[in-house]
Amino acid sequence: MLKLENLSKTFGEHRVLDGISTVFPEHETTVVLGPSGSGKSTLLRSLNLLERPEAGRYHFDDELFDFGKGLSNKEILSIRKRTEMVFQEYNLFPHLTVLKNIIEGPTQVLHEAKDTAQKRAQELLVKVGLGDKADAYPSQLSGGQAQRVAIARALAMQPKYILLDEPTSALDPELELEVLKVLRQLAQEKQTLIIVTHNMAFAREVAARVLFIENGQILFDGPKAEFFNTKKQRIVDFISAMT
Ligand code: ADP
Ligand code: MG
């Protein structure tokens, strides 16, 4: 379980995360919704320390990390190991084959044996529907295929949490579907996902919980059914504008 307590992040004068407190349970999909500029990406990036909150606390299972006190390198690595990010723009290494993209982290960071890493990479490629693409280069893939490789690469690190920041918003609708299919399957398998998306139909389908943020604050935090049936006018307006 990952619990955030009073997380704050400021860029200059702008408080982008303003006292965020919530819990991300394991084996559940949380969808993060909110208008553009509300702090969704900053929140996700803070979860694996691509951004460093200046105040607040993380509880990861029974470990406590206090941003106000600063973190040691060991603590930073410990947090990073539990979270993997999937970006909107895939960020694959262009000079490496698909297989090498996937085994890079496990062999270099986790120091896994190469043959073990390769075997699992191949299994993950099958899982995301790309069993025949191990030797392809990223430039030979469609956007949907590249994003599925990025998902396989995140899974290869065996993190507790996979963080996905608008994973399909760079894709044409038909390519989006093949990525959503993989995410739907992972959610069904109880892989813990935290997804920022503007696709309300997908949010409605895949979320167990919804976090709605605006101006760096949480306006809603609860079960999906409650979110989509809320009477809070701001959220009713948001949902109808997005669907
Ligand atoms: P969202 O993902 O919800 O659209 P972001 O988290 O990307 O929102 O951004 C929230 C606010 O923080 C925006 O006003 C954005 O301009 C600002 N912001 C994000 N990253 C930076 C940065 N590195 N430096 C300065 N301002 C930033
Ligand atoms: Mg964003």
What tens digit of pLDDT does each residue of 65-120 get?
A: 999 888 999 999 899 999 999 998 878 999 999 999 999 999 999 999 999 999 99
**Ligand 1 atom, smallest distance to 43 CA:** 6
| pLDDT for 88 | 86
Nearest residue by C-alpha to atom 20 in ligand 1:
42
In 68-191, the DSSP E strands lie at: 83-86, 161-165
pLDDT band of residue 184 (cuts 50, 70, 90) is very high
Helix H or strand E segment including 10:
strand 2-11
Residues in contact with ligand 1 (CB, 6 Å cut-off)? 11, 16, 34, 36-42
The residues facing 7 across adjacent strands are 20
How many angstroms is it from 57 CA to the middle of ligand 2?
A: 22
| pLDDT for 68 | 86
Amino acid at 28: E
Residue 89 CA to residue 126 CA, distance in Å, equals 22
Residue 87 CA to residue 219 CA, distance in Å, equals 25
First and final CA of the chain: distance in angstroms? 32
Q: How many CB atoms lie within 10 A of CB 179?
A: 25
How many angstroms is it from 122 CA to the middle of ligand 2?
A: 31
Q: Is 222 helix (H, G, I), strand (E, B) or coil?
A: strand
- Distances in Å between the Cα of 87 and the Cα atoms of 39, 70, 163, 170, 171 are 15, 26, 8, 10, 12
Token duo for residue 136: 């392809």
- Per-residue pLDDT, averaged over 191-199, amounts to 96
How many angstroms is it from 40 CA to the middle of ligand 2?
A: 5
Q: Is 24 helix (H, G, I), strand (E, B) or coil?
A: strand
Q: What is the pTM of this model?
A: 0.96
How many angstroms is it from 115 CA to the middle of ligand 1?
A: 41
Q: Over pLDDT 70: what percentage of the chain?
A: 100
Characterize the bridge pairing of strands 209-214 and 63-66: unpaired
Q: What is the ipTM of this complex?
A: 0.98
**Ligand 1 atom, smallest distance to 39 CA:** 6
**Ligand 1 atom, smallest distance to 166 CA:** 2
Q: What is the pLDDT of residues 213-231, one digit of tens each?
A: 999 999 999 999 999 999 9
Please spell the DSSP secondary structure of 36-85, one letter per residue.
TTSSHHHHHHHHTTSS--SEEEEEETTEEEEGGG---HHHHHHHHHHEEE
Nearest ligand to the CA of 34 is 1
pLDDT band of residue 200 (cuts 50, 70, 90) is very high
Residue 11 CA to residue 45 CA, distance in Å, equals 14
| pLDDT for 217 | 98
Q: Over pLDDT 90: what percentage of the chain?
A: 92
How many angstroms is it from 130 CA to the middle of ligand 1?
A: 34
Nearest ligand to the CA of 18 is 1
